[in-house]
Amino acid sequence: MTTKSEAKGLNLTLKIWRQKNAEDRGGLVEYKVENVSPDMSFLEMLDVLNEQLVAKGQDAVSFDHDCREGICGSCAMMIDGQAHGPDKGATTCQLHMRRYKDGDVIVVEPFRAKAFPVVKDLAVDRSAFDRIQQAGGFVSVNTGNARDANNILIAHDTAEKAMDAAACIGCGACVAACPNASAMLFVGAKVSQYALLPQGQPERDKRALAMERAMDAEGFGHCTNEYECEAACPKEIKVSNIARLNREYLRATLVSE
């Protein structure tokens, strides 16, 4: 079934964070993988390692992954200190081994933030994002209440801007990349999507306040304009969404309190 001539395989050294569970201390463990095809994705390279480990009776490296096409937001790792690795605008599953050369040493760690406790190895608990969403990341409209879709007119450019913000996959790279482990880009993207659209107006102020407070309660830090989140975001969501979140929050505090 091979369709592409396979270039020479790579021999790599991996230093992977292993941690049995949330209580365990954890540490880096070194592994060798040989003859890695440059056409493999990073996760496929880890699959190969895991197949070898399991065949030897050793515990496989745990990591969250699912769609493997950059949209589900499951995969999340720090690769040589960068969230999702060196490629711009890509998730870990979209990183391919052609990025590396023979003999490279690669350090792989979980996303680190107080609000993202480690579950096991590279898998972390990002349910804090769900709780922020529960606080106000929605339009309160029950099924069956909607009017005809074309009765709500939205200018093309506004819809595009809302879509830019809505493209967030909830992976948490913004948090992992931020020196303060702030979730401002995640929250800013959601608040922006609704603030830009007419459907979001009735709950606009309530939403900004509730989501920002939920974010603080989860233990995320604050924004100090490092712009690391934008650089790490696999969907290239802009920090202008954080600026909008700040304006929305300010507006809401003036209006409602």
188 binding another protein? (CB under 8 A): no
Region label for 80, one of left (φ > 0), alpha (ψ between -120 and 50) or beta (otherwise): left
Q: Which is nearer to another protein, 172 or 223 (CB)?
A: 172
Q: How many CB atoms lie within 10 A of CB 31?
A: 17
142 binding another protein? (CB under 8 A): yes
Q: Which is nearer to another protein, 11 or 158 (CB)?
A: 158
62 binding another protein? (CB under 8 A): yes
| Contacting residue, 152, 217, 250, 255, with another protein by CB under 8 A | 152
| Contacting residue, 12, 79, 90, 175, with another protein by CB under 8 A | 90
217 binding another protein? (CB under 8 A): no
Contact between 235 and 167 under an 8 Å Cβ cutoff? The reply is: yes
* Piece in contact with another protein (CB under 8 A), picked from 10-18, 103-111, 155-163, 177-185: 155-163
- With helix as H, strand as E and coil as C, how does 96-132 read? EHHHCCCCCEEEEECCCCCCCCEEECCEECCHHHHHH
13 binding another protein? (CB under 8 A): no
Strand partners, 106: 14
> Cα torsion at 132, 134, 140, 143 (round to 10°)?
140
| Contacting residue, 6, 30, 34, 80, with another protein by CB under 8 A | 6
23 binding another protein? (CB under 8 A): no
